[in-house]
Amino acid sequence: MRALILPILPIVTAAILAWLPVAILPAVETAGESTATAADLAARGRAAMQESNVMPARIVDAAILFTQSLKLYQTQGDLEQIQDLQANIFWCKKRMNLVELQAYLEQKNQDVQAKAALVQVDAIAASVVPAAEADAYFKRAQEFALKHPDDHYAVAVRFYEVAERFQGSETSLKAQRLSLDAQSRHLAAVQAGGEKHRATLFSRPAAVAAGSRLPVPAADAQRKAVVLLKDLYKDDYAKDRPKLRRAFALRLVDLAQATADDPVMRYAALREAGELALLVPDPTLMVSTIDLIAAQYSGVDAAADKRAWLQRVRGLPVATAMITLLAKPEDPVANAAVGRHYCFELGEWDLGLAMLAIGGDAELAALAEMEIDQPTESANQLTLGDHWYDLAKKTRDTSKDDMLARANVWYAKAAPTLVGLSKDRIAKRQAEIEAAMPNTKLDWSNLTARQWDQLKGITLQVRAGVASQVAKVVHTKPVRVVPHPTDAFQIRDALGIRDATWQGAPSRQVVRFKGANRRPVGGNAPNDGAMTVQVGKGKEHRPGDVIAEDGILVIDTPLPNRTTASGVIRVKIVDVED
């Protein structure tokens, strides 16, 4: 009796990416680099294998990557990795069809190495395994499942190979059931996470401030408050340049949030910020201002207010798309348009990615899926950077620089653990991107050391353990305070009682400007050692933010009690062109 194996369910995962031709990497001589390259190829193969659920041609890439990795592991005699890769290759071959294969070879321009790798794929899939080996294969699949209880996709692949190689046996039927069970668990896990990933600015419930909301002030009280605002900030209201109006609107939002004792003035300041956003016009600032009002005051119909304000600037494509999302938050075309606006024009990736993930642009949706998952393995980070780079190279609009900048973010994350050819390739590509990148497209919270070195500005030294250091720079125009990305403090626990929470480093922690991430989830306090910037005792800014207030900059790096610290982090005070 032939075991009937159902095709894998269509799976949407965070690893789904647009199709990308994969370079065939030669083996390297050094044993350490060979191991790293083999692992890198295997990780990229696994990503491509999952991507093939929506991009069928990627299954061919996956098979070739696995074959390349297999060759390296065979030279090392790593039996466990060899068995895993053979199962993956078997899976890929069974899902490969002639149309995909032909399209692949045409794209590769009849690549000789690719053809040779596919010959090996055929040989592995077609090899006949004696029936007496069934129990051994099944036992290895069980052991793999025990070692990887949460990797349901990989477990399904292992049992699939057993079921197909030993068709008609009792072992085959058991493996078939286990493969299908693993597939179902994988799909359930993906779907459970999908709703969280796809909650967008236009589909998630509106935030509500802690405690009871206040009633909207009476119309007469609002009018008096607006008159007072216009008298207090007469000079700011007189500025008619769009950037200056937007800066004043943002300042009003900050002032409103800091005004705890006068709800009428707070409401008026938020409404005035929205009106200024209309004059810019800035639809995103309008929308966020209404959300702030609705979170703090009862009886506000946020959707109706947004629609009314957006109608006044509906000539802007992004405003029209936002109006569509108010009625149909899942609309793919509108999500793609608004997602691009948030990511590429505003740099608000946290808000924009969720919309791109459900948008109508398949390539951007696939990239957004992986971005949302925040890959931590260097192989996946490298792949994501490559995808952004390749998409940028074929893009002809103004988003090209933003895509290149995003590629560089992921290259910088992957770079520290890369070796051999991958390390040299990415170093060259980073230099290319950074040489061509205008300052207006820099990701200020994720600069590389090379980008920091190229910045022009006053350089200061922030010393560890010194609270509220005054940077004696009085500025009268917008600036950024930009720390060196790799400078660090050395923090030690003087009493030796915090070891268990210090990421395995006994009473010692290396802390860069973003701080040590050891605070409880949901806590309001900054990370230990995280650098903050203020003007006087005003609003706290993150390094890299535009600071528009006039006055003396104050830099702080809060440290936990009972600790000592040493080291210096250099910062540059960079003027922002108006």
User: Greater confidence, 451 or 55?
Assistant: 451
pLDDT greater than 70 at residue 335: yes
With beta carbons less than 8 A apart as the criterion, state whether 566 and 464 touch. Answer: yes
Residues 324 and 358 in one domain: yes
Rounded to 10 deg, the angle between the 263-279 and 242-258 helix axes is 160
Q: What is the pTM of this model?
A: 0.56
Question: Considering its fold, how many domains does the chain have in total?
Answer: 3
Q: Tell me, what CATH number does 493's domain have?
A: 2.60.120.430
407 in a structural domain = no
5 in a structural domain = no
Residues 166 and 224 in one domain: no
User: Greater confidence, 474 or 448?
Assistant: 448
4 in a structural domain = no
Residues 172 and 224 in one domain: no
Our measurement of the distance from residue 394's CA atom to the centroid of its chain's CA atoms, rounded to an integer in Å, reads: 22
439 in a structural domain = no
Q: Phi and psi for 513 in degrees, rounded to 5?
A: -65, -20
Pairs from 457-461 (Cβ < 8 Å, separation ≥ 24)? 457/482, 457/572, 457/573, 457/574, 457/575, 458/572, 458/573, 459/570, 459/571, 459/572, 459/573, 460/555, 460/570, 460/571, 460/572, 460/573, 461/568, 461/569, 461/570, 461/571
140 in a structural domain = yes
pLDDT of residue 392: 92
Last residue of some domain: 396, 413, 441?
A: 396
pLDDT of residue 421: 87
9 in a structural domain = no
342 in a structural domain = yes
pLDDT digits (tens, 9 = 90+) for 362-372: 889 889 988 98
Distances (CA, A) of 525 to 196, 335, 559: 25, 34, 11
pLDDT digits (tens, 9 = 90+) for 35-51: 667 887 888 888 778 76
Residues 237 and 363 in one domain: yes
Residues 35 and 183 in one domain: yes
pLDDT digits (tens, 9 = 90+) for 394-446: 888 888 989 998 998 899 888 888 888 888 999 999 889 888 777 666 777 77
For 262-286, what is the mean pLDDT? 92
> Where residue 187 falls among pLDDT bands split at 50, 70, 90?
low
Last residue of some domain: 197, 229, 257?
A: 197
Query: Which of these ranges, 212-221, 236-245, 317-326, 444-453, has the smallest mean pLDDT?
Result: 444-453
Beta strand segments in 402-454, E: none
> Where residue 527 falls among pLDDT bands split at 50, 70, 90?
low
Residues 143 and 230 in one domain: no
With beta carbons less than 8 A apart as the criterion, state whether 387 and 18 touch. Answer: yes
Rounded to an integer, what distance in angstroms lies between the CA atom of residue 414 and that of residue 422? 10
Last residue of some domain: 367, 396, 425?
A: 396
Q: Which domain holds residue 127?
A: 31-197
Q: Which one, of 14, 11, 12, 19, lies nearest residue 386 by Cα?
A: 19
Residues 191 and 227 in one domain: no
Side chain identity at residue 39, one-letter code:
A
Residues 121 and 157 in one domain: yes
Residues 87 and 166 in one domain: yes
User: Greater confidence, 425 or 97?
Assistant: 425
Residues 550 and 462 in one domain: yes
pLDDT of residue 207: 62
Residues 382 and 484 in one domain: no
> Where residue 561 falls among pLDDT bands split at 50, 70, 90?
low
pLDDT greater than 50 at residue 296: yes
Residues 370 and 488 in one domain: no
206 in a structural domain = no
Number of Cα atoms under 13 Å in the Cβ half of residue 519: 16
Q: Which one, of 297, 358, 282, 300, lies nearest residue 325 by Cα?
A: 358
